[in-house]
Chains A and B, each alone.
Chain A
């Protein structure tokens, strides 16, 4: 074996290993740098702003805002970056740019308010001016919920950038209004309720995709912003309760004195009276019985009539009527409650999933 050849091969191998290591390092470096860049770049931008290096700060802050996906700034940091950028542009005497950045900030987060201890008055004043001139709302709703139409409601909390009028509707995806939810002013926030019914007020809309659209209006009643909150509505299964049976006759008491007891009291007397009159001809046929027997027969019959009347046939029995009324009222209440619950059940549970809200601006900013 040639010793020079071996030495050359060893050097060649080292060089290849070194090149491979450099190539791998070069491939890995951008990912590492990108993953850690947004936060540090924002921090560098803020430091540059604090050091009054506004040009450098503007570059760094814009660069921090360009990161996308997993590397992007968190919403709170993004708002912070925009606020520093707006301040930077204002302090660089780029007022229009500062206003545009502030407007972007208001639209992305209508609830944002700058820290008065951090930013100078002219920056705060600019932001306030832009905020007031940029009516917009953002909405928050439970991501996945279920309501019983009529008894419960979906609650959407709206936050406004400034006091303005809004018109909120539930609409199909193609824009057909299903139900108007609210029309009127909004100050800081507003709770929007949808009880699960369509415009009829009694029927839930069919299963499908819908959207809660909140139009922000300017003073000329023009739509300047539209918040669209997608909804996916699913109707639940119908399962009704059986109606309660009316009170059984065995539980009800007679509300009027029946004829029965009176007749049962009268019958023996009548029988005895008739016997007094009739039996002589049966027992002693051929004899003329004394008319005095009618005294006894009449007395017995009169006693029977008195007994019959003493039972007050047909007379109302208030206690029994009250007892029956209590039973019937309880049954009616229970029946009405079942009917009410069945109406609710017939409406079924309404499953609602909300998507990510989208803020649209119909006119050019």
Chain B
């Protein structure tokens, strides 16, 4: 599996393209959002929600894209609460101007006081499609991903999952600032069907492009 990932990453990085000769474009963003996490273990269900703050960085050179996201917050309900930290590191390839293919790890950790952390790690392949509403100003996007392999650390088990994200990206005229309103839903499943966790989030992100 590791070999396959290395090969895919190498192929993406070495993909010959004239655009690859262009310089890096980097974008940063900070955001926050309301997140709802539902976990189900057999017949036991739990729902927690809260605010998660996040940051991200996207670097583009030609057709190659790299994206890092990290978010942290706390989700609670009337009886319990937990911290949540989540992140992803993706490497992407712009197969078309409107279509990007991604691959990389995606992790989420729930921290409950008095217990060891419960961490989901999924290696996922993703597709992001973008469409222009107002050229250079507003575009919509839909991202689908599917975990190709993954694990849950407690209880230790292999895991799978998938997710989707859709929303709207706005860019200000003559300013290197952008904003994004998005809805995201993800679900991780332990093999065998004993445990399932679903996370929904509505996020608002503001970013800027220091290098262009």
What is A's interface to B at a CB cutoff of 8 Å?
265-269, 271-273, 275-276, 279-280, 282-284, 286-287, 289-290, 292-293, 295-297, 299-300, 303-304, 306-307, 310
Contact = CB atoms under 8 A, between A and B. Distances in A.
A272 B164 contact: no
Contacts of A295: 202
B132 interface: yes
Interface string B167-195: 11000000000000111011100000000
Nearest to A272: B140
Interface residues of B, number: 31
Contacts of B168: 269, 272, 296, 299-300, 303
B72 interface: no
B109 interface: no
B36 A272 contact: no
Contacts of A280: 164, 185, 200
Given A268-B133, A280-B200, A283-B162, A289 B185 contact: yes
A268 B130 contact: yes
B139 A268 contact: yes
A267 to B, nearest CB: 7
Contacts of B186: 283-284
A279 B166 contact: yes
Contact of A279 (B38, B133, B185, B198): B185
A276 B144 CA distance: 11
Interface string B127-139: 0011111100011
5 contacts: A280-B200, A284-B198, A290-B36, A303-B140, A304-B133
Nearest to A280: B185
B34 interface: yes
B187 A300 contact: no
A105 B36 CA distance: 129
Chain A interface, >50% SS class: helix
Nearest to B138: A303
A271 B140 contact: yes
Nearest to B163: A283
B202 A287 contact: no
Contacts of B209: none
In the complex, the 5 A-B pairs of residues with the closest C-beta atoms, listed nearest first? A268-B131, A272-B140, A307-B133, A296-B183, A279-B164
B167 A296 contact: yes
Contact of B202 (A269, A282, A284, A292): A292
A91 B167 CA distance: 127
B66 to A, nearest CB: 24
Nearest to A265: B133
A267 B141 CA distance: 11
